[in-house]
Amino acid sequence: MEKKEMTRRDILKVGTAAGLTAVAGSMLGATKSFAQAKKAAKFKLRMQCHWPVGVGYYKFAFVEYCNRVREATDGEVDITPYAPDTIVPTKDALEATGSGLLDMNWCWGAYWQGKMPVASLFCGHTFVWDDFSAMYWNSYCQEAMSIYRAAYKDHGVHLLVPIGIDGITLWSKKPLQKLSDFKGLKVRSTGLPAETLKKAGCTPVFFPGSELYQALQSGVCDAAHWGAVYTGYEMKFNEVTKYIIQPDLARVSNAEITVNKKLWDKLPKDVQRTLEEVGMSINYECYARCDYFSKVDTKKFVAEGGKVSTLDKETLKQLQKFSDQVLDEYAKKDPKYCGPVVKKYREMFDLVR
């Protein structure tokens, strides 16, 4: 058979075909590798929450965070959500996160105000942030977040992000309008709000969330706050109280996501960024959702026979004064961390009050 000489075109055809075969093989290998990586989690983490399993917040915020991180990292980071007190009692969650018993924790920082007073400032004090925007720029634009993180670092914990909730709503068995109405009121409260209410004449008492309904029902306490109207309604406070007190003691209240500091430092930068960015997206959504449902549930409460009791202007002024006094006390009590944060609060007040 006569041998045919290969032309330049023939050579190009052969080269292209071989190249495509190599690329196809490479892509197949990459696809297999990607599929395998998606199945095996590099970081299997445990995170506990303080919210009861039965409330919507637990699912649409806490569990959703774990799901989104898993999806955003293609399964590389797998966070298992745990109900309150499953691994450790909620009151011990800060130490558990610092020691590594918990990898991550979702809670309300006022639980550790005795060990770290500035944690209560991060939660949101009475009459401080008028809206979500003020909370954000106070934390980030004014860089109060760096102060909070430094304080948490002392406990072996990295403070990841705030999780905004729509305000601090007081539910009560009695109407509250004047300052004299607060005298002797047994109110379930935590953090700096409890200090403010104490100055107003209340008797602050504390119960875990799981005991709140029964405490209100039995009369062990006359009033309570547990997040916003929406979150209180989810806890069935509408069944054991007659009044929602307005305006809220605060328009924004923060939960927090924390990570064991040693673990955080070992995580790749892209994983750190993902944990934070997903947390911030949940932060925005959680606040908006709580704000919406709080308005819906207030209407439901009134339709069911409940009443909205409105504080008069003079009472609001007095409560704000008490709130400012508490800030000054905490600044003196903790000059290292509370002092600088309160200073940033004052700078913010100059702009918004």
Residues 30 and 52: their CA atoms lie apart, in Å, by: 43
Q: Which of 258, 117, 88 is nearest to 190 (CA)?
A: 117
Residue-level pLDDT at 34: 39
Residues 54 and 74: their CA atoms lie apart, in Å, by: 28
Q: Which residues contact 295 (CB under 8 A, 6 or more apart)?
A: 229
Transcribe 1-19 into DSSP letters: -PPPPPPHHHHHHHHHHHH
Domain spans in the chain, listed from the N-terminal domain onward: 41-164+254-291, 168-252+305-352
Residues 59 and 72: their CA atoms lie apart, in Å, by: 18
Residues 15 and 283: their CA atoms lie apart, in Å, by: 54
SS3 of 273-307: HHHHHHHHHHHHHHHHHHHHHHHHHHHHHHHCCCE
In this structure, what are the phi and psi dihedrals at residue 45, rounded to the nearest 5 degrees? -115, 155
- Any idea which residue has 């439901």 for tokens? 300
Which one is the CATH code of 168-252+305-352: 3.40.190.80, 3.40.120.10, 3.40.190.170, 3.40.50.150?
A: 3.40.190.170
- Helix, strand, coil % in the chain, rounded to nearest 5: 55, 15, 25
Q: What CA dihedral angle connects 272, 277, 283 and 286, to 10 degrees?
A: -110
Q: Which residues of the chain have pLDDT under 70?
A: 1-39
Region for residue 305 given its phi and psi (left: phi exceeds 0; alpha: psi -120 to 50; beta: otherwise): left
The whole-angstrom distance between residue 230's C-alpha and the CA centroid of its chain comes to: 15
Residue-level pLDDT at 38: 56
Task: Retrieve residue 259's tokens.
Answer: 């990570």
Q: What CA dihedral angle connects 36, 39, 42 and 48, to 10 degrees?
A: 170
- Report, at the CATH architecture level, how domain 41-164+254-291 is classified: 3-Layer(aba) Sandwich (3.40)
Q: Do the two domains 41-164+254-291 and 168-252+305-352 of this chain adopt the same fold?
A: yes
